[in-house]
A and B are shown apart, each in its own frame.
Chain A
Amino acid sequence: MTHEHDLTCQNIIENLNAYIDGELDDVLCTEIEAHIQSCPDCRIVVNTLKKTIELCKNADSETSLPAETRHRLFAKLNLEDYDKKD
């Protein structure tokens, strides 16, 4: 990794979570973005980390409770009369 700005690549790793979650103050955020612009390795780490989170979230987005499992849940709790039928 290159070291052309005040921040080192190690600084980027230390602040990576907060940067991705938008929890950093504007000054540090700008410095990190400047570093990322000039450091291809850090840019790849940031981009692939963001993409990893996005893919993991999307991989699960279609999971919902199967109808049979839902019926058994309502029955277990003696709430059959409130169970929406298919």
Chain B
Amino acid sequence: MNENTETFELEALQKRDRAVFAQVLDQNSDRIYRLGLKMLGNVQDAEDILQETFIKAFNNIDQFEGRSKISTWLYRIAVNESLMLLRKRKGNTIQLDAPLETDEGDLIPRQIVDWCCLPEKELMNTETRDHIQEAVKTLSDANRAAFILRDVEGLSTQETAEALDISESAVKVRLMRARMQLREELTAFFAGKMIKETL
């Protein structure tokens, strides 16, 4: 999933060379589509985000100075577009740099069940995949964005911070909350399966 080979000429890109634009599309469209799908949960919205991201990127290519990877810059646009769409739907404001909630209760493990011993076919079948997708949807928008970029797309903490325009320490807190919440969700899911098997 790490498609981090960025082979294009920056100068040609900034001169709006169509062949280089096409190359950037080729190298980045899968990852931006995946991000949209995970952030918004359906293929139509993911396609809208994909198109909007590249339209904005190419219209504002002079703002890309090559200090970060172009994929990080594209992720940043895509995350902002996704949040704008979610904001429109929810009718409220989502701010990635909003103060972090102070409740530490969500970091305390509540369920201690060892489900790692389940067979691989149980751990990764269609039902489990569907459950994971639903579980990711339950994360807050800000925590979900950090989790997708860092753990699913494999960006470094620094790249995730750049893409979300927040500090690295804020990324780490959001990531921890997301990971722990997903662990609780999956533990409840697999514990239920283990109980069924013993009946």
Interface, chain A (partner B; CB < 8 A): 13, 16-18, 21, 41, 44-45, 47-49, 51-53, 55-61, 63-66, 69-70, 72-74, 76-77, 79, 82-83
Contacts and interface: CB of A to CB of B under 8 A. Distances in A.
Contact of B109 (A45, A59, A76, A83): A45
Categorize the interface residue count of chain B: 35 or more
B172 A59 contact: no
A63 B112 contact: no
B22 to A, nearest CB: 3
10 contacts: A17-B172, A18-B172, A41-B112, A58-B124, A59-B128, A60-B38, A61-B1, A63-B33, A73-B29, A76-B54
Contacts of A77: 21, 25, 54-55, 58
A82 B47 contact: no
A44 B179 contact: no
A56 B130 CA distance: 11
Contacts of A56: 132, 136, 147, 151-152, 182
Interface stretch (B74-82, B93-101, B113-121): B113-121
Contacts of B108: 13
A86 B64 CA distance: 32
B37 interface: yes
B55 A51 contact: no
